[in-house]
Amino acid sequence: DTGVSQDPRHKITKRGQNVTFRCDPISEHNRLYWYRQTLGQGPEFLTYFQNEAQLEKSRLLSDRFSAERPKGSFSTLEIQRTEQGDSAMYLCALGRGSYEQYFGPGTRLTVT
Amino acid sequence: LAKTTQPISMDSYEGQEVNITCSHNNIATNDYITWYQQFPSQGPRFIIQGYKTKVTNEVASLFIPADRKSSTLSLPRVSLSDTAVYYCLVGDMKMDSSYKLIFGSGTRLLVRP
């Protein structure tokens, strides 16, 4: 148990639909990260929050992507008008300001 | 962030010691070296972190030579459950306030019976 839950674990959607993923920290960590991982590659950084403030966004995070962390607890990642290239595992991780981070099990998105 | 180079894959047998070496020739003075492990369909898991010489915990040891241009993750007496992808990362603990993790492709370790 890493102290992070993600929902849903799997999502299949049709191209053009919107999807939303949720990350729920079980324990308190002021930093929350989102990463994306495609098959055979390591995770890629998307964005991170310190408490409720979104402090950095990767160039990978196009205008179709938006993330929120209201009240500095859970976080949501929304993808609008999904494309086949969005198919990946979306991982949430918690940290306290170090390279030791605790990852959730991820949400696997398949866009058909 | 310093670029890292690791073997793409390694094979071993149960009970053997496995050493995975990572090259980071451009490592900076303030960079720390961190290793993660990832099982299929799970998120990565932090294993160990070090700056120089040797660090040991209940899972692994990390050996870092004086020039810090490489590091070796040592897994003693591996079991089938150690089959996973292992990632080596380097990052500046003092200057990088984001602490975002930059992963490479990692080393796929296969442990055979």
Share of chain A above pLDDT 70, in %: 98
Containing A51, the helix (H) or strand (E) segment is none
Q: What is the mean pLDDT of residues B84-96?
A: 84
Quick check: B1 pLDDT over 70? no
Q: Could you tell me what percent of chain B has a pLDDT over 90?
A: 79
Contact A101 B99 (CB under 8 A): yes
Closest to A34 measured CA to CA, from A23, A42, A25: A23
Question: Is B103 in contact with B89 (CB distance < 8 Å)?
Answer: yes
> Burial letters for B15-38: b for 16+ Cβ neighbours within 10 Å, e otherwise?
eeebebbbbbeebeeebbbbbbbb
Gap between the Cα atoms of B62 and B46, Å rounded: 13
- Chain B from 72 to 91: CB within 8 A of any A CB: 85, 87, 89, 91
Q: What is the mean pLDDT of residues A23-34?
A: 89
Identify the pLDDT of residue A98.
Answer: 84
pLDDT averaged over chain B?
A: 93
Taking one residue from A and the other from B, the number of pairs with CB-CB distance under 8 angstroms is: 67
The least confident of A61-70, A84-93, B92-101 is B92-101
By the 8 A CB rule, do A106 and A6 touch? yes
> What is the model's pLDDT at position A84?
96
| pLDDT beyond 90 at B50 | yes
pLDDT at residue A29, rounded to an integer: 82
Residue B92's pLDDT is what?
77
Asked whether the predicted pLDDT for residue B91 surpasses 90, the reply is no
